[in-house]
Structure formats: structure tokens, C-alpha cells
Structure 1
């Protein structure tokens, strides 16, 4: 979201951007679900209190289970109530500007919410713990800078049938690998478009090498790493492949897949720059082909733009889950405990200049003389909010190279991304992901039900815990009358966290006012996006999705979400 102050006419309610600024507080300040003291011994007052509480809970569950479905609103009814047009006012450095838009009908709103739905409704592979996944995206930028990719990588397990010669599939999904990536581009969509096509394949190739017994190197060495990989003498690996596939090696393989792909993205323009200089000095420019400078400008777009990226790897055979993150996307797991409660497991920590852990990490990687410039005003060198990203080479190139590439852009009448003023010891932005590892089962009897992956457009308006509650209730009833936000934690209790919560630490769900919407979405990602935009406030929803142009970006971000569902019967 833009940092500019926003003010709206009476037609736009404050709930529109109620989560545009994430509330952050210390762990000690987090409110618990109950303020009642724990009773030291049974007594009459306690018994009466418990009886009333049980009766109240029973009544709420009864109302929840038996309430009729909300009647469908007629198309255009919002326009009949509020008018065909609405206006907003945005206050910026040049004062207040007013904008007027035509309010879209409810039918048009539903079309926008659902037109980009995708996923796999029935994986149908016995032994694979993933039974379904849903994806959706709603754009704000034109074009949308978000991308996603989902891939199932089967590893066959067959036996021969002597009678008919056919193969009998036995637990065909037991050895499957699944890769899910969410990519949030910035400064254009060039990096995210490239990663959509390359990130999962690069990871798959790297994992295939590990499966064959090739361990990732101890340290990333850029181009030298790939030179060594292509050296035939390195192909004769004397170790055992089965001993190479360990969580620590899978983690390192994921990290090197990210970093080496980013090295290619960012170093290719430097190589093209050298070729451009050589061709110009030798007068090798041909009139019927693109000039070296034109080639440089065209092929360096993924390096000059940038993207946050997150990949979830599901290893069916070993019942393992890995999440690799570069940037401020987020993954959250929803576990159901043995007693039916829900547990929110934040699998990632937002990597940005407001996260003190990231601030200290970046500062330690540079001389003390740069301590005050590497992170300024919560941003890398005062510019980029995420502290880790793919691309964003202006934070990774030395100043001389960055200026040379910027000059080539200007000579082609293309506006370059500004070179950072304090690039003394680059890189300042890392592409090495933090990797979280989980088993798909635990000894407490908790059951992993789903993993939510989303770009920060969703998390600007939803907390991690709210997303788990929304999915827990969605699994129970996707179609239902609006549920007050105050009631949802009572209907679907969350286990109180006992460990330090990852950044950003946000308030646990104890909201006041407003409601969540349950419109019978067949796609779970749509259900989350719908509620992140405006909850059950259909007027605000229509207005948010009716805006066009640059104003849209002031009010909401691109949002992409994938929900992965698990079935413990296949574990």
C-alpha cells in the first residue's frame, strides 16, 4: 500500500483499509482469548459459570448449524440503494484530489472475484497426502505483477501383472513431490513472469540432482558453482543417493536453487554489457538484427525489476513439508488438534526493513560505516521494503555497472530504474531464502488440514490467525449467513500460542464489529480474498473492485492465494 494518507467520502467506510497498516506488538503484550483466572478448586460459582458458558456455546453452535442460508441479493440492488456512482478523495503531496467511479453491480463483482480461479479439485493419487489445491488472484496493478505456479512431480511405483502384461498402480502417489510457488513482483512484472516459468523447474532439477546423490556445495559461488556442476569429473559421485536425501540437504538444495537462479538473472546483463562494448568497438552491429544495446535492454528487464517469491515443497514419501521464502509473502498452516480446536502455525516470517531480525542481518553483512544507510526508514537504502528478493539488481550491482546499464536504457529512450546512491559493498538484497521444515504429522495427534500461501496483498488485510479461522469455518460451511467477527473464535476455538510468534506479531482474533462473508465459494482462495477485501461489507467490496487506474493501487494491492488441502488418510 502507498504510504500516502487516504481520506474517503461518506460512501467509503474506514473498514476499506482497516488492515493497510499491520499492528505489531511484543509477544508479552498479546491478549489471550480469556481474561478469566484459572480456578484453583471447584466451587459453586465456577460450576455455575461453566454451565452458563456451555449453554451459551451450545446455543451459538445450534444457531450456526441451523441458520438458513442468506438470500441472494438481486443484481444491482446496491446501486439502487447507494447510486450508480461513488467518489473518493485521496490526500497526497499535492493536496486532496477527488475521483468518481461507476459502481459495479454484484454480478460484475462476482465475475471479477472468480474469473481467475484455478487449481486441482481432486488429485486422486493414492498415497499422496495432498488431495486438492485452490488458487485465485485479483489484480490491482495493470498488468497484475503477481504470478503463481503449481507442479506435481510423480515418481512411478509399479509392479508387473503376469496375466495381462499391464502395470498395476500401487500407491502411485506415495513418492510424489509437489511444488507450489507464489511470486509477488514489483517495479514491473518482468521478474515475476520469468520466475513463473523457471522457479519450479530449477528447483525440480536441483532436487533430481540431490536424489541422485549430488549434494549442494557448502557455499554459493555464483558462476563458479555452475561451472563445477558442468565439469564431467563431478558426475562420478561415490556416495549413496539414499543417504543424501535428508532435511538439511533438501533445505540447502532449495536455497541454492533460489540463489543460483537469481545469479543468472542478475549477472546476465553484466555479460551482455561486456558483449555490447565489444561489438560496438569492433563495429559488429548489423542493421537487420537487434543491436547489442537493444538486446541488453530487452533481456535485462527481469534483473532491473524484482519479485518476492515463496515455494512450498511437499515430499509425499518422507511426509515432509518445506517452505522457502524470499521477501514478504507468507505461508500459514492450519492444524486441528485432537480435541477439535485449531492451531495457527505461521510457517514464514516477513522479511522486510521493519523486521528487527532482518535489519540486524543486513547490517552485519556490511561495514559499520554503512550502518545508518543500509536500512533507512524501514527500507533497504531507503527504497525497497523487502530485504530479500529475486532480481532487484540495482541493489546488487556495483555502482559502475549499474550506471552503465542505466546509460544503455537512456540511449534506447527507456526509463531506467535508478541506481542506488550508496552501493559501496553490494549486494544489499539477498535471494537466499529462509526455509521452514515440518513433518506432516506430529506426536500430539494434531492433523494438518491446509496450508495457505499468499502475497502480501492478502496479509495487508488479514492476520495469520484470521485466515486459519476463515478456512476452518469454510470447511464446515462454505455457504452460510454472515458470521460476526466476534463470534468466529468462539465457534472455532484457536489454541493459544505458547511460543514466540514470528514477525509481524498481530492481535489474536478478538475483533469488534463487522462480519465475515460465506458465499458458497467452491474455491477456498476466493473465500479468503473476498474476506480480505471487505468481509461481509458488500458496498465496500463493490467500490474496491470498481476503481480503475492508479487509484486502485492506492486502495489495495495485487493479491494471489493458493490453499493446499491435506488428507490424513493418505499418511
Structure 2
């Protein structure tokens, strides 16, 4: 990292509150292996300058002053990838989604789809690392694996020779897979269907279906590299890049009042619940698979010899390298040394084999599956990559979406709920609408609303200078301050849930 990068990082830190500023500097210094003296020096500079700097200070480079994006330009950046979908039946009224890149290209992906046969709705956030390849492939393939695993035997036999697109109606699908990989993936999916027919009993269990789909797709990612190599001796660089990059995921399946969530890695799902006292509560459904989860640390330590206890987790990372302790792909941490030597080393060099790599596999894609029965008090579900959760707590996110729900009614024209309504009732509607105007949000899309506050939020509201500054950083510097952020907010239909049997 050169001097100009260091200067930009330090200047940007001045715009952050003290706690976040020191967290960023400490993380940056650790990742760049700076000595303790320099760590303390950087901290003292950021803190001292932060006490005397103005939040409106412009970003400076060798050409002089760089003009920050205007509020209108910031809004265009934030809304670039937003999407909304409404439904007329079922327990979900609508959902909002959006994502904001920090890496170039962005390594996050998202998917949403309606199951055509089982009627459930699938929502997923996929956070890639080591490149976007694995996250993109998983986002394109996983929901088909899940939809197939949910079918009884007779339905499986009907669709086994049909195009797998018949299983799902996808929304907002922006990922395209190259043609030669499409053929590979279609063959893998046909094999998967055949296996399901052979092993299926008619008692479909959603939790088992989610687990089976995730584990099977992960094993297919490996097999699609290994089998061609064994038969031809050639390495396919496309399938290899998918296998060696990785992704964590959080996937929800909603069918009526039944919510299942499968989580692998450090994305999270949170339910926003309204209490009888008209207060918001955040119910965090998932638990991260990282070094802050002591059960995960114990699991990994128990899977490897005591002699590796000091090396298997170093600097809060798997083998000192990988922050999530479960993921799909990432076969650098799953294949044997012999396999890595044959496949990865010729392409990526000796660094393809991690240090202290003695007893693989060190990594699994096994998901934790969570079930929640929805009630009328459950108003929405937030699924997001860790880029959001690094910037705000679940309760902060829930309160922001709750306030957004209250204020966004002003975006819609006033509609009378029934004919022959009394003037007094109309007056109440108008008073409520006037009250809502006070909290009218800047963004109609709740995911955009969350991203805006995650990056520019302060205890006094959104600081445009801070928001504009962080959005204007180049990707190599931006990554020091925030990750890619992907958010999906799913709104539940309280009336539908109220009519569901207890």
C-alpha cells in the first residue's frame, strides 16, 4: 500500500466517530501486518486530527480539491441496484432489495424466486470472497436444488426430463452463466434429480431439503473440477475458479406462516416484531459462523488434533486466512494436499496451499437451519450480508425499517378504505397522514433506506458529507472502511397471518 492510500485512509477516518475510527485503523493495521509502533502512531493521528477536523472537509488529492457527490448524485448511486416486488396472495405482501458495491467487481449476489409447484417463496443473500465467481454460481443454481428437494417422488419423476426453469419463477435475475458452464450445470442437476428419485420418501421435510440442497451443490462444485481432470488430465480454469473462491449464504423459505432460514457463514436474518406496547423488537434468527461464535471454535478445535490448536484459528481466522468458519466453495480449505498440488498449485502457485495445512478438510458448507412460525406481530424480515451488520445492530436496522414503514405511506395517494366513510374517519386518516409526513423517508425502498443510514448515519441523522465521502472512495481504499452491502426486506401480511390456524 503506497503513501497516497495511507493518506486517503487517514483523512477518511477523520470523518468517522471515534469508536468506528479506531476500529477501522486497528483492522487496517492488522491486515497489513504493521508493527505496534506504527499502529499506535496511526491511531494517535486519526484521533488527534479527528478532534480538530470539520465533518465538511473536502477530500484532497494531488490535483487539489475533489468535489464530493451532491445529494442528488449520492441518491442515484444508492438507488442504482434497488428492486421491489409486490404479491397479491400469501403471507408476503412485498419485498425491497438493494446492494451497494465496495469491491470492484462486487462479490455479493442476491436471488429471489417463487416455487411454481410448492408455492413457497425463496430469498437469498450470497456474500462472496476471493472473487465473485462462487457467489454468482450459487445464486444461480441453489434455488433449483432447494425447489427439487421439496418435491415428492411423483412430482420429481414428472420434471426429471423437463428444463429446470419450470421449477421456479425468478425475479430480478441479473446473473448470466457462460454457455459451456450451463451445460455442465444442467448435467449435474439431472444427476441430482435422479439421486432424489432413488432416495426420496414422500415425507418432505423443509429443513432436510435445505440442508441436502446446500451440501449437494457444494459437492457438485468440487466434482465438476475433479471428474474432468481424472478423465482427461486437463484443468478447467472456469470451474476451478468457482471451486477455489467461496461464498457464505443466508436463504429463507416462506410458505404461509412457516419460515425456514438456512445459514452458512456470517450473513444474518432478523425479524422485526411490533409489541402490544407499539414498540419494535428485533428477533435475530441466525448465528454467525465466525470466531465470535465460541461453539464454532470448539467444533473446529474438536475436529483437528490438539497439536493444531494454535494454528487452526489464528488472528480470529481459519488458518489465519478466512474469516467465516463455514462456506460453500473455498476448496483450498477442503481438498487434500495432493489434490491442491495437482489442481491449484499449477495455476495459483504454492500459496494455493495454506500454511499449517495438515488435516483437511478444515471447512464445511453444512448450514444451520432455523424455524420460526410467523404471527401477526411479525411485520418484516431483514436478510443482509455482513456489510450491513458491521455498520449497525439488528435493533437499529429494525427500528429504521419500522420508521420507514410509518413514513412511506405518504408516497402513495390517499385511498379511502371503504365506501360511505364518515367525515370523522376521513379526518382521522388525514391527521395520521400529516403525522406520517414528519417521518417521510428519502427513499421509497427500505433496503436503500438501510444502506443510506449504514454508511452515512450518525446519532443526529444522515451526514451527507460522510456519506458522500465514503461513496467517492476508490475500491482499493473503500474496502478498508466497508464491505459490499446486500439487503432484502420482506414484508409480511398481518391479516393473512391473523387468519392462519394457530
Change (3 A) 1:227 1:519: closer
| Aligned with residue 382 of structure 1, among 282, 303, 320 | 320
Contact 2:127 2:267 in 1 (8 A): yes
Q: State the distance in 1 between where 2:64 and 2:232 align.
A: 46
Matched, 1:337 2:275: yes
Matched, 1:465 2:395: yes
Change (3 A) 1:19 1:543: same
Aligned twin of 2:30? none
Report the Cα offset of residue 297 of structure 1. 1.6
Change (3 A) 1:314 1:566: same
Aligned twin of 1:322? 260
Change (3 A) 1:456 1:231: closer
Aligned twin of 2:413? none
SS at match of 1:554: coil
Matched, 1:133 2:95: yes
Change (3 A) 1:114 1:226: closer
Aligned twin of 2:127? 184
Q: State the distance in 1 between where 2:329 and 2:221 align.
A: 6
Aligned twin of 1:438? 372
Report the Cα offset of residue 347 of structure 1. 0.7
Contact 1:325 1:433 in 2 (8 A): yes
Report the Cα offset of residue 21 of structure 1. 4.9
Aligned twin of 1:450? 380
SS at match of 1:254: helix
Contact 1:315 1:321 in 2 (8 A): yes
Report the Cα offset of residue 6 of structure 1. 8.9
Q: State the distance in 2 between where 1:112 and 1:266 align.
A: 37
Contact 1:335 1:344 in 2 (8 A): yes
SS at match of 1:176: coil
Aligned residues: 400
Change (3 A) 1:519 1:232: closer
TM-score (norm 2): 0.73
Q: Mapping of 1:45-194 within 5 angstroms?
A: 82=56, 85-87=58-60, 101-120=66-85, 122-125=86-89, 128-155=90-117, 176-194=119-137
Aligned twin of 2:51? none
Contact 1:326 1:388 in 2 (8 A): yes
Aligned twin of 1:540? 466
Aligned twin of 1:305? 245
* CA displacement, residues 110-131 of structure 1 (integer Å, 9 cap, x when unaligned): 10000111120x2112xx0000
Report the Cα offset of residue 361 of structure 1. 1.1
* CA displacement, residues 131-188 of structure 1 (integer Å, 9 cap, x when unaligned): 0000000101111000000001244xxxxxxxxxxxxxxxxxxx62000010000010
* CA displacement, residues 231-267 of structure 1 (integer Å, 9 cap, x when unaligned): 69837x6x6x3xx14xxx3212211111110011123
- Structure 1 or 2, whichever has the larger Rg, is 1
Gapped runs of 5+ residues in structure 1?
A: 23-80, 89-96, 156-174, 215-224, 278-291, 481-516
Report the Cα offset of residue 407 of structure 1. 3.3
SS at match of 2:355: coil
Q: State the distance in 1 between where 2:11 and 2:305 align.
A: 49
* CA displacement, residues 522-541 of structure 1 (integer Å, 9 cap, x when unaligned): 10000000000011111000
Q: State the distance in 2 between where 1:272 and 1:425 align.
A: 25
Change (3 A) 1:433 1:210: farther
SS at match of 1:450: strand
Contact 1:20 1:460 in 2 (8 A): no
Change (3 A) 1:147 1:11: closer
Aligned twin of 1:40? none
SS at match of 2:147: helix
Aligned twin of 1:561? 487
Q: State the distance in 2 between where 1:546 and 1:87 align.
A: 12
Going by fraction, where is helix more abundant, 1 or 2? 2
Change (3 A) 1:567 1:16: farther
Q: State the distance in 2 between where 1:16 and 1:451 align.
A: 31
Q: Mapping of 1:232-381 within 5 angstroms?
A: 234=198, 241=202, 244-245=203-204, 249-277=205-233, 292-293=234-235, 296-316=236-256, 319-381=257-319
TM-score (norm 1): 0.64
Report the Cα offset of residue 382 of structure 1. 0.9
Q: State the distance in 2 between where 1:195 and 1:558 align.
A: 17
Q: State the distance in 1 between where 2:351 and 2:140 align.
A: 24
Q: State the distance in 1 between where 2:241 and 2:95 align.
A: 32
Gapped runs of 5+ residues in structure 2?
A: 1-5, 25-54, 158-188, 411-438, 498-502
Report the Cα offset of residue 16 of structure 1. 9.0
Aligned twin of 1:26? none
Contact 2:345 2:351 in 1 (8 A): no
The two structures, once aligned, show a CA RMSD in angstroms of: 3.3
Change (3 A) 1:271 1:231: closer
Report the Cα offset of residue 451 of structure 1. 0.3
